[in-house]
Amino acid sequence: MWGKLLSRKRFYGYGKIEADKDDTKYRNSFHRDYDRLIFSKSFRRLAKKTQVHPLSNNDHVHDRLTHSLEVASVGRSLGLKAGGMMKNRGESVDPHDVAYIIQTACLAHDIGNPPFGHAGEEVIKEWFLKNKGEYFLSELPLDKTSDFQHLDGNAQSFRIVSQLEHNLFKGGMNLTFATLGALVKYPYSSDECQSSGKSKFNYFKSEGEFFSILFSELGLKSKDGSYKRHPFSYLMEVADDICYGLLDLQDAFELKVIDKSDMQGIFNLLCGKKKTEEVYSSDRSDINKVSKLVGSSVNQLALHAMDVYENNLHLILGEKQPTDLISLFSEESLKDGIEKAKDLGKNKIFNEKRKVELELGSFNIIETLLDHLIRATFELYTNDEKCLSFRNKRVLKLMGNEAYEKSDNLYEMYQRVIDYLVGMTDNHAKYIANQINGMG
């Protein structure tokens, strides 16, 4: 079982699956995965993408890159502990390999998020829904529309690393199957997501065939054709949950959206009342007090998450898998604390006036891009390239090296528009929208 789950095989295009033959003591397949991710353009661009607060002028506030690095740090620690636990149970595994797999999956988990964070994702979905009766969407096959109307950054992340980056439609980054499996939190398509009432999914129809190959190779395809989660995906997920639940609060405090009193009850639950009062009464600066308690909270949550993973591994490896690790937390104070942290984010931080104002501006930016790029693409689809209007020729020129060729597959052409848009940083999206609107 673990031999399959730790698969070093890589996908190089249909009909070509190979494992590395030149692993050494000092650099193996999982090290290469990490290096390929770190050196990728898509990862680099996360530095200019919103985590929570769009276009912030405060350099201390997290962007997608710093968030991903912090998640990967927690994920690596969890991976080392998980690998050590496996070794103690008699499995032939190097704990450092497990750490690299989870660390790389953590680095990749947000790589498919569009500019302006989750607001950007919502605008794209709403745009395709409100325009579903327009001429430029009328020829899109009905069975493909859900990929756009329910667009998910998780599915786009999987598409980027497995298809787009480095080797276009020849395996992308060619990551090992183990690392790709650890990246997948929601092993179903947009159709399954829609029909079952779920809100998230991890692969588009364009990646359906490869997804089936991948999960069959990992031993995660059930007899009924459904897919199970890779056990390491639970550790990647909980690392993300811990970090965004707490570090979003740290940013909000930095920006004076919340104050210490808003967080004290949460820290009491996560660190204990004695520890919280000790830090709050110290002579540290307020920002250092919060940072100290956030760090302690992350440590407590990560330690308990690993205990929960070990105690419930039989369920995680079974047919009826749990939803996530936090729902299994046995320490009620920790479970309550992280949930209260998330609630504070939803109720106060995400509704902060300045954030809402900037998100409204981002709606206009992304709608402008979609209005022009989709219409120009549809004209290219229905006409000879030489017959394009001057304006649409110029719009498509803006895509530069990301431009695509005319195709008889409208779904694929629109996917390339989304690939281009999702790849933009916040600043670049704003710049291109201004160019289109004559405000450059």
Q: Given this model, what pLDDT does residue 57 score?
A: 64
The one-character DSSP state at 164 is: I
User: CATH 1.10.3410.10 spans which residues of the chain?
Assistant: 240-353
Q: Among all chains, which residue has been given the structure tokens 């109307």?
A: 149
> In whole angstroms, what is the distance from residue 297 CA to residue 339 CA?
13
Contact 264, 280 (CB under 8 A): yes
10 Å CB burial of residue 171 (0-12, 13-18, 19+) is buried
Q: Given this model, what pLDDT does residue 364 score?
A: 93
> In whole angstroms, what is the distance from residue 264 CA to residue 170 CA?
51
Which two structure tokens, joined as six digits, stand for 118? 């989750």
DSSP assignment of 85-154, as one string?
HHHHTT----HHHHHHHHHHHHHHTTTTPPTTHHHHHHHHHHHHHHTTTSHHHHTS-GGGTHHHHT--HH
The one-character DSSP state at 20 is: -
Question: For 227, phi and psi rounded to 5 degrees?
Answer: -115, 145
**Structure-derived torsion over alpha carbons of residues 412, 418, 419, 421, reported in degrees to the nearest 10:** 150
Name residues of the chain where pLDDT drops below 50. none
User: CATH 1.10.3210.10 spans which residues of the chain?
Assistant: 2-113+152-217
Whether CATH 1.10.3210.10 fits 2-113+152-217:
yes
DSSP assignment of 331-377, as one string?
-HHHHHHHHHHHHHIIIIITT-HHHHHHHHHHHHHHHHHHHHHHHHH
Gyration radius of the chain's alpha carbons? 22
Q: Which residues contact 281 (CB under 8 A, 6 or more apart)?
A: none
| pTM exceeds 0.75 for this model | yes
Q: Given this model, what pLDDT does residue 189 score?
A: 93
Q: Given this model, what pLDDT does residue 210 score?
A: 97
State which fold the 240-353 domain adopts: putative deoxyguanosinetriphosphate triphosphohydrolase fold (1.10.3410)
